[in-house]
Chain A
Amino acid sequence: MNLSKRRAGVAAIGCIAGLSLVLAACGGDDDDSANGTAAAENGDDADDTDTDPDEDDTDGADDPGDCAAYEQYGDLSGTTVHVYTSIVAPEDLAHIESYKPFEECTGATINYEGSGEFEAQLTVRVRGGNAPDIAYFPQPGLLETVVQDTGSVQSLAGTLAEEYTDLHFAEEWKELGTVDGTFYASPIGANVKSFVWYSPSMFADAGYEIPETWDEMLTLSDQIVADGNGKPWCAGIGSGDATGWPATDWMEDVMLRMHGPDVYDQWMNHDIPFNDPQVAEVLAAVGDILKNDDYVNGGLGDVRSIAATEFQAGGLPILDGNCWMHRQASFYQVNFTEAGATVAPDGDVYAFYLPPMGDDFGNPVLGGGEFAAAFDDRPEVQAFQAFLASPEWANLKAIEGNWISANTGLDLENVDTEINRLSVEILQDPETIFRFDASDLMPGEVGAGSFWTEMTNWIANDKPDDEVLDAIESSWPQ
């Protein structure tokens, strides 16, 4: 009784205070209608919020009209949920802001902690008995390890979070949060990796067209060389302990395009050996670009400079006009904006979809994403877990800027940049063949080990293709 009275009170206050905003939401408890309105109304200020987070703070928090969507979580006053993630400042601010409506409406406090040492520290904390309530896993491979090693991850079977995941995410996304048949982690954010960054003005001035097929892309590269416009491609695979991963993304993208999703899955699951002729073909195709001294490394040096360049700096020569194309994920736009460039079709830099190699496999997309798993089943933790899988949160988070999700309830209106809208369209398109970054799903010894180091060797020491593939194959755990 007490609870429902309180909720009714909150709802009433919400109706009065948010009069101008969402009358409709107060009337119905239907989830979708509430979402739709919230999304539409939030969409209005989407443009200014990403430049000024503080302003959005007041907007979002004092917006009790949204509370109708939170009634299902009940009254959680006085409870605290501890969230542990690998996302650190300044990106953490957007996360913290996006929880505000949940905190306002349910009374729960969300304690956010981000750490660059997430992967190492999480295991220590779980084993030490000090596990966070919810952790954001940057890759499903780590989730699997933690589930199998510690057994402390809560199954989401039968929870509201599972219901929301079923409702709002494609089956393949739920599959990624499932270990050994049990659903553990709901998807949160996503990114699309199959992009080639370029400068629209450079292309326009030189009269180049955006390539529609792989062959056109290679023809364009040759054309750039022939025109004496420098080297068409730039790349950087340096990334501290993870040096080499951008090169593995190249292979994955080409694998998807050359042999299609089925062979991709076989390759990822080791149903075909790593030194299979099909894989060798892929590596050779990547080598045609990355190890071609005519093509790389624009503005940075020769082939070897790819290994010496940090991935953060790998695409920046585009801004100086020294490089024409850079294959990197959607999240790379941060690096361009940090460097003072505008990312837009008519701006300094933009991206096109990495073209397909043929018509056989449609437009496959390589991507990544984060997943939220819980280490506790207290009601407030379950409620927050469900909230993370809900379209409300996806929209709230998208409004904070530079973030997308595969949540089908995510309204394009709320997505801030052109490249992010393009990414969401690709992710939500039912025709899209989406595949998760394979190296994140391979066993750690390979996906976060030999695959990285051997690709680095391949570039830095000019190690031959077959030796690289043999070395990775022999490192695959039996």
Chain B
Amino acid sequence: MTTTPTPPVVPADTAAIPRQLTAAERRAAAARAKLSSPWASAVAIVIALVWTIPTIGLLVSSFRPQQSINTSGWWTWFTNPEFTFANYDEVLFGARESFSTYFINSIVITLPAVVIPITLALLAAYAFAWIDFKGRDILFVAVFALQIVPLQVALIPLMQQYVRWEIAGSFWTVWLSHSIFALPLATFLLHNFMKDIPPSLVEAARVDGAGHVKIFFRVLLPLLVPAIAAFGIFQFLWVWNDLLVALTFAGGTPNVAPLTARLAELAGSRGEAWHLLTAGAFVAMIVPLVVFLALQRYFVRGLLSGGVKG
């Protein structure tokens, strides 16, 4: 239950593999028993409440009139309830360029920037996991080591390259950059997931005459859905919330700037309109929230299957 997720589509002959509880699974069971005690639940609820309070404060603030936001804390709302949509109205329709432009830009940036690295990383992970070639381990360590390179040091060289290719200021720069920065982690994570799949499964497929392509699409891909979804959420949130990469490569002009760029300047040059930030934050939060809630099943499963198994 907690480990390898039940594959949605599994060839009939591989479905019934006899399993024993491993040491890790026994530990997981013990941990689960401890964690579901009433005390643990109480603590969890308290932590959840404390963590949610700032968000509630933001939400309450976003509906308060500007004068009140400027002069008093959000908690005074409970004794003196006021309600207005003025902040949302200003955020969505107040500027020269409507919020929807940035919204669409964000989507245009995010989708390829999630799909490209996952696609490439899946192929790379397959090769690292199931194709035996010379220098595989060294290459894998090298890819993994790339993770520790902070992306900030790559900004200026990448920029120079994009200028040479004459794609500076276009969406391509953002897609490519996000793909580049995401690939090491994506390859590493997906490789680990792929390695977790029992070799006998792949061998059985091979005996049945399946080539690499068939094994990849028919055997591995269905099993990897939770892992892909988990990494997809990671990458989606990262790209959606990114300001640095988009601002550096695409710039802040309305034809390419994402939501975060607009959000960052929402408060005005001298911060005189900072009361809009709460409403802006909630508008920007909607999409990631929907994506997360829709995919959280996979997210939790993906995390667990990566963590519990060795």
Contact = CB atoms under 8 A, between A and B. Distances in A.
A151 to B, nearest CB: 15
Interface stretch (B39-47, B50-58, B261-269, B290-298): B261-269
Interface string A79-121: 0000000111111110010000000000000010111110001
Interface in B243-262: 243, 247-248, 251-253, 261-262
B269 A312 contact: no
B220 to A, nearest CB: 40
Contacts of B272: 312, 334-335, 338
Interface in A392-424: none
Contacts of A19: none
Interface in B228-256: 243, 247-248, 251-253
B156 A127 contact: yes
Contacts of A207: none
Interface of A: 86-93, 96, 111, 113-117, 121, 124-125, 127-130, 239-240, 310, 312-313, 316, 320, 331, 334-335, 338-340
B261 A312 contact: no
A90 B265 CA distance: 9
Contact of A114 (B70, B71, B155, B265): B265
Contacts of B248: 121, 124-125, 128
B159 A316 contact: no
Interface string B109-133: 0000000000000000000000000
A95 to B, nearest CB: 11
Given A124-B155, A339-B67, A312 B274 contact: yes
Contacts of B66: 338-340
B70 A113 contact: no
B264 A90 contact: no
A247 B104 CA distance: 42
Chain B interface: which size bin?
35 or more
Contacts of B160: 128-129
B96 A89 contact: yes
Nearest to B96: A93
B71 A320 contact: yes
Given A338-B272, A339-B67, 10 more contacts: A96-B96, A116-B269, A124-B159, A128-B156, A128-B160, A129-B160, A130-B162, A313-B70, A335-B272, A339-B70
A401 to B, nearest CB: 14
Which one of B95, B162, B268 has the greatest number of beta carbons of chain A within 10 Å? B268
Contacts of B268: 88-91, 334
Contacts of B164: 129
B289 interface: no
A375 to B, nearest CB: 13
Which one of B96, B251, B270 has the greatest number of beta carbons of chain A within 10 Å? B270
Nearest to A123: B156
B12 to A, nearest CB: 56
B29 interface: no
B264 A111 contact: no
Nearest to B265: A88
B251 A113 contact: yes
B204 interface: no
Contacts of B266: 89
Which one of B67, B253, B271 has the greatest number of beta carbons of chain A within 10 Å? B271
Contacts of A310: 271, 274
Contacts of A124: 155-156, 159, 248
B223 interface: no
Contacts of B224: none
Given A91-B269, A312-B270, A113 B253 contact: yes
Given A93-B96, A313-B70, A334-B270, A117 B159 contact: no
A130 B162 CA distance: 9
Contacts of B302: none
B81 interface: no
B156 A239 contact: no
B265 A239 contact: no
B287 interface: no
Nearest to A85: B269
30 contacts: A89-B262, A90-B94, A90-B273, A91-B269, A96-B96, A111-B253, A113-B251, A115-B251, A115-B264, A116-B264, A116-B265, A117-B243, A125-B159, A128-B155, A128-B158, A128-B162, A128-B163, A129-B163, A130-B168, A310-B271, A312-B271, A316-B71, A320-B71, A331-B270, A334-B272, A335-B270, A338-B273, A339-B66, A339-B70, A340-B66
Nearest to B169: A130
Contacts of B274: 310, 312
A115 B70 contact: no
B247 A117 contact: yes
A424 B95 CA distance: 29
B255 to A, nearest CB: 10
B59 to A, nearest CB: 21
Nearest to A96: B96
Interface string B128-159: 00000000000000000000000000011011
Contacts of B265: 88-89, 114-116
A89 B95 contact: yes
Contacts of B158: 128
